[in-house]
């Protein structure tokens, strides 16, 4: 009996610190992928920024430059890009 109490405690700690947050993050990512729409600026898992041109079932067509379009798997999109943060980083600073 004394062996089961610490084992259960370790499992509960592991569940609340590792498993539960990861499940929450996965569900938020899934919701984001389902809510993608034309015109969204996204970042792929390969590090490519692009704008959604069209949604084709499990694939997404991204415009990455003028006259350059990529067809990527929807699951390859890691996050929505924040245009205001990108503008702040690329803005010239007075030195």
DSSP state of 41: E
Model confidence pLDDT, tens digit, residues 57-79: 999 999 999 999 999 999 999 99
Mean pLDDT of 37-64: 94
The domain locations on the chain are: 1-35, 37-95
User: Which residues touch 74 (CB under 8 Å, ≥6 apart)?
Assistant: 33, 36, 55, 58, 59, 60
Instruction: Check residue 94 and give its pLDDT.
Output: 55
Best CA proximity match to 25, nearest among 71, 3, 33: 33
- Percentage of the chain lying above the pLDDT 90 cut: 79
pLDDT band at residue 91 using 50, 70 and 90 as cut-offs:
low
At the topology level of CATH, where does 37-95 sit? SH3 type barrels. (2.30.30)
Residues facing 73 on adjacent strands? 59
Mean residue pLDDT of the chain comes to 87
Mean pLDDT of 21-39: 93
């Amino acid at each position: 009996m004394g062996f089961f109490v610490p084992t259960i405690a370790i499992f509960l700690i592991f569940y609340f610190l590792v498993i539960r947050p990861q499940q929450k993050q996965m569900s938020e990512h899934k919701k984001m992928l389902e809510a993608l729409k034309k015109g969204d600026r996204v970042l792929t898992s390969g590090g490519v920024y692009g704008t959604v041109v069209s949604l084709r079932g499990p694939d997404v067509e991204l415009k990455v430059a003028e006259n350059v379009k990529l067809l990527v798997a929807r699951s390859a999109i890691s996050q929505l890009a924040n245009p205001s943060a990108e503008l702040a980083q690329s803005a010239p600073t007075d030195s």
